[in-house]
Copies of this chain bind each other. A is one copy, B any other.
Amino acid sequence: MPEKYVDVDTLKYMLYDVHNLQNLLSRKRFEDHDKESLDMFIDSVKEFADRELFPFFKEMDENPAYHKDGKVFVHEQVKTMMYKGGEMGLISAPFDYEIGGLQIPLLAQTVAYYILDAANNHLPGYAALTQGAAELIIHFGNEFLNETYVPNMLSGVWGGTMCLTEPQAGSSLSDIITKATPTDEGHYNISGQKIFISGGDNDFTENVVHLVLARIEGAPKGTKGISLFVVPKNRPAEGDALEWNDVTTVADFQKLGQRGYCTTHLGFGDKGDCRGWLVGEPNKGLHYMFLMMNAARIAVGRGASAIASAAYHASLEYANERPQGRKLSADGKKNPDEQQSLIIEHPDVRRMLLMQKSVVEGTMSLVLLAAKYYDLIETAESPEEKEKYQLLLEMIIPIVKTYPSEAGLQSVNNGVQTLGGYGFCADYILQQYLRDIRIFSIYEGTTGIQSQDLLGRKVTMKNGKALELLSQEIMATIQTASGIPALQSHAKIMGDKLKLTQKILGHLMPHAMQGNFERYLADASIFMEYLSLVLMGWTWLDLGISASKGGAYSDEFYESKLHTMKYFFTYELPKTSGLAEILMNDETLTIKSESEPIQ
């Protein structure tokens, strides 16, 4: 195994210098925290990850979670993740003191989880989903549900899941058919099947609390008739006893990657005795779920970025140690008497590593920006401020989820290539990162769905106000960068890209205005690729500004940030030119009714 999976200095630099956590800490909610206490928290998480997560990463892949005789068997580190993680406050971190939370900003918690994801992406999900499930109960559940479930979940003694997908519906949640039948006893009887349930069961926690989308009998069709239920694997009975709640693990999914993170097929009410408790009001389930979705999507982007980070450090380590080939002499030949070069000395290897670094650090900053917006919304001091950051977060969230997943995959792919034949070998870790990261562009809404959200909802929301706010933020960064001589040319490029974006939207928008949404959205995924690069250009310009200021780290540290910024502007951002051409082409080749063939 390589030695390093994340650069904690860079994470802290992003946290304090780039995203200015101190600013958030001045808000009332976070006033008990300071840099020192949060550094301690982060360092203890790193130590925990080094000791309890990273060493088990490969064996969890080689001995995947599996299903046998109705039970799911997972690696025993799941127990450590849940119980020790619970003790450390990893599950309770963002919640209010009064319910046992730590009132830690999501920005800081995201840094902590980034470390965990980079160390071993098969484990943190067990805790993170428990947190997500608890959050739904905390926000929308009644007192009974809060008292019964939340404390055990925050301590990691009980696990939690989100149950959305059904076999016949896939991404189309409006087609959910899991049934909830009211009873006179305060609960509903639940029956149905859910698939792709991450962390759906395990041997170690005493219970698993499922947050289940289901349809109350007689509810309206489509998304407006879906309700949310707490459906525990074991329901509280007399005293402290638990009794089985007719939740069965029907099967599991063996997967390309994340093989230590179990993915299950659950059956509810096969014996007619599965009880569910309604969360909040009937028919608002999808609404509740989507209020939590931004945090979930930040988490997906974070996980993908973290895997890309681990892969980057693994390939960098290899490139720094492996001698191979020689430098070209002035005659274009190689001299066999000369010593071999390390492969990191070859420009093509440097280019691949720089691509990785630019994706890793760029997405790290973008994910943290989203977390910061989230915190700013939660602690907004005026309705205007709240709306501003809500719109900004909504605007960037599809990209925060998608770009780390898509570019992260390409970045890990470069890491594999750096190792040559060894990259393809099971003894080396790169191939595992490649398999693990592949799911991220599918999780929580595929890239296609995120792209429809970006162009279809976010660009047009409030008459384009969210996009307008984002442009203002970018303009402000351009303004600042224009005052720094070394960044002036990059600032100018970003200005041009903003204008190009307007031009593209000017080309596409008439389709939406004419009601031809199929045409408007046909190339949404290309627009996603385009706008992601623009957003990353902005992110790197912002990183360039911070790096230009210097600070507590070494000169080399800041120089490497500036160098990577230049890489992004030279090698990645220009790809927007080709993408813009595609977006402004009037051929409609992918709309079936207008131009059929495929075969």
Taking CB atoms, residues of chain B closer than 8 Å to A524 are 348
Q: How far is the CA of A593 from the CA of B329 in the complex (A)?
A: 14
Q: Which among A223, A420, A423, A424 has the highest number of chain B CB atoms within 10 Å?
A: A424
Q: Is the CB of B448 within 8 A of A597?
A: no
Q: Is the CB of A590 within 8 A of B512?
A: no
Which one of B172, B434, B517 contacts A256 once the chains associate, using CB atoms below 8 Å? B434
Contacts A336-B174, A421-B442 given; does A567 touch B589 at CB 8 Å? yes
Chain B proximity mask over A431-457: 1 for CB below 8 Å, otherwise 0 = 100110011011000111001100010
Chain B proximity mask over A342-371: 1 for CB below 8 Å, otherwise 0 = 001111111101100100000000000000
Which residue on B lies nearest to A172, using beta carbons?
B325
**Nearest Cβ in chain B — how far from A54, in angstroms?**
21
Q: How far is the CA of A266 from the CA of B426 in the complex (A)?
A: 18
Q: Is the CB of A598 within 8 A of B441?
A: no
Q: Is the CB of A357 within 8 A of B324?
A: no
Q: Is the CB of B438 within 8 A of A171?
A: no
Contacts A525-B348, A597-B563 given; does A589 touch B570 at CB 8 Å? yes
Which one of B423, B442, B447, B567 contacts A424 once the chains associate, using CB atoms below 8 Å? B442
Q: How far is the CA of A61 from the CA of B208 in the complex (A)?
A: 34
Which residue on B lies nearest to A416, using beta carbons?
B438
A272 at the interface (CB under 8 A from B): no
Q: Is the CB of B589 within 8 A of A325?
A: no
**Nearest Cβ in chain B — how far from A463, in angstroms?**
14
Q: Is the CB of A417 within 8 A of B431?
A: no
Taking CB atoms, residues of chain B closer than 8 Å to A597 are 556, 559-560, 562-564
Chain B proximity mask over A205-242: 1 for CB below 8 Å, otherwise 0 = 00000000000000001110000000000000000000
A592 at the interface (CB under 8 A from B): yes
A552 at the interface (CB under 8 A from B): no
Q: How far is the CA of A595 from the CA of B456 in the complex (A)?
A: 43
A591 at the interface (CB under 8 A from B): yes
Which residue on B lies nearest to A258, using beta carbons?
B424
How many copies of this kind of chain does the complex include?
Answer: 2
Q: Is the CB of A598 within 8 A of B354?
A: yes
Q: Is the CB of B171 within 8 A of A324?
A: yes
Taking CB atoms, residues of chain B closer than 8 Å to A43 are none
Taking CB atoms, residues of chain B closer than 8 Å to A186 are none
Taking CB atoms, residues of chain B closer than 8 Å to A348 are 448, 451-452, 522, 524-525, 590
| Segment 247-267 of A: residues with Cβ below 8 Å from B | 253-257
Chain B proximity mask over A455-473: 1 for CB below 8 Å, otherwise 0 = 0100000000000000000
Which one of B170, B222, B562 contacts A324 once the chains associate, using CB atoms below 8 Å? B170
Q: Is the CB of B557 within 8 A of A570?
A: no
Q: How far is the CA of A169 from the CA of B447 in the complex (A)?
A: 41
Taking CB atoms, residues of chain B closer than 8 Å to A592 are 344-345, 347, 350
Q: Which of A28-36, A70-78, A478-486, A575-583 contacts B (4 or more CB under 8 A)?
A: A575-583
Q: Which residues of A contact B (CB under 8 A)?
A: 165, 169-172, 174-175, 195-196, 221-223, 253-257, 316, 322, 324-332, 334-337, 340, 344-351, 353-354, 357, 409, 413, 416-417, 420-421, 423-427, 431, 434-435, 438-439, 441-442, 446-448, 451-452, 456, 512, 515-518, 521-526, 556-557, 559-560, 562-564, 566-567, 570-571, 574-579, 581-582, 585, 587, 589-592, 595-599
| 20 further interface pairs, Cβ-Cβ under 8 Å (given A566-B589, A574-B579) | A170-B322, A174-B336, A221-B337, A222-B336, A257-B424, A328-B518, A332-B517, A347-B522, A348-B448, A351-B589, A417-B446, A424-B439, A435-B435, A526-B571, A560-B598, A563-B596, A563-B598, A575-B579, A577-B581, A578-B579
**What are some 25 contacts across the A-B interface (CB < 8 A)?**
A165-B421, A171-B420, A222-B335, A223-B336, A253-B421, A253-B426, A254-B427, A256-B431, A327-B518, A328-B517, A332-B456, A347-B518, A347-B523, A350-B591, A353-B598, A354-B590, A417-B441, A417-B447, A421-B442, A424-B439, A557-B599, A563-B598, A570-B585, A577-B578, A577-B581
